[in-house]
Chains A and B, each alone.
Chain A
Amino acid sequence: MSFDVLFSQFMSGIARAALLFLVASGLSLTFGVLRVLNFAHGSLYMLGAFLSYSIWKFLLMPVLGFYLAAIIAALIMGAVGILIEYVLLRRLYARGWPEQLLATYAIVLIIMDLVKWAWGGEFLSIPRPKPFTGAVLLFGFPFPSYNFFVILLGLGLLVFLWWLIYKTRFGDIIRAAAHDREMVSALGIPIPWLFTWIFVLGAFIAGLSGAVTAPFGSVALGMDIEIIIECFAVVVIGGMGSLPGTLLGSFIVGEVYAFGIMLKPELAIAFIFMVMAVVLIIRPWGIFGRPER
């Protein structure tokens, strides 16, 4: 197999990895701090995609329309995040995690029907926005420029999260809270406030990544479940709650899938879960994960 063939397959894996990282980073962040595994993260992603489609249609702006729609959709999802955290999750922190898990599962079901009711089951799609409509030649092989946009956005999010977590005071608090909740509370930092903001940030990221996928493929029911399952694979491989882990997990899942399709298309999805099983057998808490306490 020649180099350009492998390279183009590698690049389509990277594009997928970037998309997965966009979604999974929010999931991982929420889990790392709140210790709540948010099943509804995929639903927020889906809702973000549908919202951006409707806003884009409403705006009717040829160039800026999509970018504006994406940001507005993400902001709305942030607001939805406040609602979910404030109304539901906050009342459940004192209870067991099974109840928290089930509450987010209930949100999955509710959003699923909400979307079905509001948009129906059709495939919707937004054309690729300017200037990312065409393709770029890489080693003589065409490569859609929108994929580059997604990759750049993924890198941007990575840098932002890294800066937020490791370079700011807010990040110090986040890391401290992930490590020892009581200690942070004892220092006089209001934990509920912290939790709300983290959840909102997660929801915002979910909404944004949903909007970004709209021109990538298509917007349809069922994308919530598909993405959340792959995101679970990502965070489980990388280690739940770890930023470098999410990055590595996204890369592994994206590439395993891309090359799986080339070698044995029938088993491409199964390959992902096989890799995950192997990782878990060697390191039950994922590559960068910390053992539970």
Chain B
Amino acid sequence: MKKIAILSVLVFVFSIVSVSMVMAQAKKAAPASTKEPIKLGVIYDFVGGCHMYSETGVKGIKIALDEINAKGGILGRKLDFIVRDTEGKADVAVRETKDLILREKVHFLIGPCSSGMGLAMQVIHSEYKVLRISAIANTEAMTVDKFSPYFVQVVPNTYMEAIAATRYLHKKVPTAKKFCTIAPDYEFGRREEAAFEEEIKRLVPGVEILYQAWPKLGEKDFTAFITAIMAKKPDAVHSSLFGGDLVSFTKQAAPYGFFQSVPFIALYDFPVLLALGPDAPEGTFGFGRGCFFMDPNPKMMEFVEKFRKFTGTYPDAWAVQNYDAIYLLKAAIEKAKTIETEAVIKAIEGMPFEGLRQKFTIRPLDHMGTVPCYQGTIAKDPNYPFKIWKDITRVPGEQVIRPEASVREIWKKTGVTR
């Protein structure tokens, strides 16, 4: 009797579970309309050091979308976008990605700012087969170690950026043999410093790295790091601090006479220079990803005017990259003549593109754009009410991108097959 009861309960449970599963499967096939707007999910980190970048990034997207929509959209469809915040937490980034894909049913994703968030998101959107373009986050892991065909990069990745910056630093202080580094302690900072180490060892035989400081992302008190670095008396310091963190660091290091005593390179791009105002240390080196004073080509200057009309301020590299990302997507969709993900990816691979930072292509192998890197020296300029760079170098992406053979080498180790 008892056996029969248990058996019947089991049969009952089994049957409702299997019916539920079938019904859950059946729900998935939803017909796609061709008249509805194309939906973009934009995920950024509106917190800490990433905040200012994320905000202007969204402005860049907004300007591009308004322009495109005013001209009738893409393939006759308007563009729509939804902005979400990761709060700088990987679990929130995953949840928001799922939310955008499952609830909002976006067609493409743009973002995020922090490389750590990018890695967490990449697993999810790749599984749901949604294409993401990164216009701020740039860890090399997204295109190399953890390559996904559903990801396209229009920002110079950590490897390219650090190699180019290291060459510039070496050109400026060729005698430097002893180095210290200071970088935010997360994916981006770790990758940049690893690439710096790799390149400086190639350039300077017998180089010594005395001390590496890893303040956390969003650190507010750098005092102990500054004294620890100065105590080591390095010949030069390489850093990948950025945004608000770099502003705090610069303000706290100045009273120690840090910038007079040590050649220093960091991500001194436009928003940081603007925030620092008169405190920006002249003669210190900076690297960046392309804004108006780094690459004053006609297309860029035209964008500057549009941006100033829209916001009242100058655009930074983050607005530029996001604007480029939208136009790249537009070009790819128009080439593919559909918004179907696989076709768009096919179209994007190897497609020549001319954006605000001049010509680049998306390398078919790893979806890395051959985008340029820029370096310069902080200086006053009579034309602007803030400090900009002089001595600017523009390094085309082809010169610093990781060779295909090397990419395949890494793929062998990480198990990527392509």
Contacts and interface: CB of A to CB of B under 8 A. Distances in A.
A–B touch (CB < 8 A): the answer is yes
Contact of A122 (B220, B222, B228, B244): B244
Nearest to B182: A265
Interface centre among A128, A147, A221, A261 (most CB of B within 10 A): A261
A123 B227 contact: no
Given A146-B255, A262-B231, A12 B46 contact: no
A222 interface: yes
A274 to B, nearest CB: 17
Contact of B224 (A9, A121, A142): A9
B47 A222 contact: yes
Contacts of B275: 123
The main secondary structure of chain B at its interface with chain A is helix
Interface stretch (A76-84, A102-110, A153-161, A212-220): A212-220
Given A221-B47, A221-B48, A16 B224 contact: yes
A265 B214 contact: yes
A31 interface: no
A5 interface: yes
Interface string B218-230: 1011111111101
A222 B216 CA distance: 13
Interface string A119-144: 01111010110000111000000111
Interface centre among B47, B228, B243 (most CB of A within 10 A): B228
B234 to A, nearest CB: 13
Contacts of A1: 231
B52 A261 contact: no
A73 interface: no
Given A135-B257, A222-B47, A217 B221 contact: yes
A19 B224 CA distance: 14
Given A9-B227, A217-B252, A122 B257 contact: no
A147 B223 contact: yes
Interface string B262-288: 000000000000010001000000000
Query: In the complex, which range does the number of interface residues on chain A fall in?
Result: 35 or more
A292 interface: no
Given A142-B257, A261-B224, A261-B228, A121 B248 contact: no
A182 interface: no
Interface string A253-269: 00001100110011011
A122 B225 CA distance: 23
A13 B255 contact: no
A123 B212 CA distance: 25
A264 to B, nearest CB: 10
B313 to A, nearest CB: 14
B99 to A, nearest CB: 20
B256 interface: yes
B228 A121 contact: no
Contacts of A121: 46-48, 51
B156 interface: no
Interface string A224-266: 0010000000000000000000000000000001100110011
A236 B257 CA distance: 37
A135 B185 CA distance: 29
Contacts of A269: 216
Contacts of A5: 231
Query: In the complex, which range does the number of interface residues on chain B fall in?
Result: 35 or more
A134 B257 CA distance: 10
Given A9-B224, A122-B51, A220-B48, A265 B212 contact: yes
Contact of B225 (A13, A144, A261): A261
B376 interface: no
A125 B245 CA distance: 12
Contacts of B251: 125, 127, 218
A217 B248 contact: yes
B244 A218 contact: yes
Contacts of A134: 255
B247 interface: yes
B315 interface: no
A213 to B, nearest CB: 8
Nearest to B257: A142
Given A121-B47, A122-B52, A142 B223 contact: no
A222 B243 CA distance: 16
B51 A120 contact: yes
Q: Which 10 A-B residue pairs are closest in the complex by CB-CB distance?
A: A123-B244, A217-B220, A144-B255, A5-B231, A121-B51, A135-B255, A261-B224, A12-B223, A258-B224, A218-B248
Given A142-B256, A220-B220, A262-B228, 18 more contacts: A5-B231, A8-B231, A9-B227, A12-B223, A12-B227, A121-B47, A123-B52, A142-B257, A144-B256, A145-B255, A146-B255, A147-B223, A217-B221, A218-B248, A221-B47, A222-B48, A223-B220, A266-B214
Interface of B: 46-49, 51-52, 185, 212-216, 218, 220-228, 230-231, 243-244, 247-248, 251-252, 255-257, 275, 279
Interface of A: 1, 5, 8-9, 11-13, 15-16, 19, 120-123, 125, 127-128, 133-135, 142-147, 213, 216-218, 220-223, 226, 257-258, 261-262, 265-266, 268-269
28 contacts: A1-B231, A8-B230, A9-B228, A12-B223, A12-B224, A12-B226, A12-B227, A120-B51, A121-B51, A123-B48, A123-B244, A123-B247, A123-B275, A142-B255, A142-B256, A145-B255, A217-B220, A218-B251, A220-B220, A222-B218, A226-B220, A261-B224, A261-B228, A262-B224, A262-B231, A265-B213, A265-B214, A265-B215
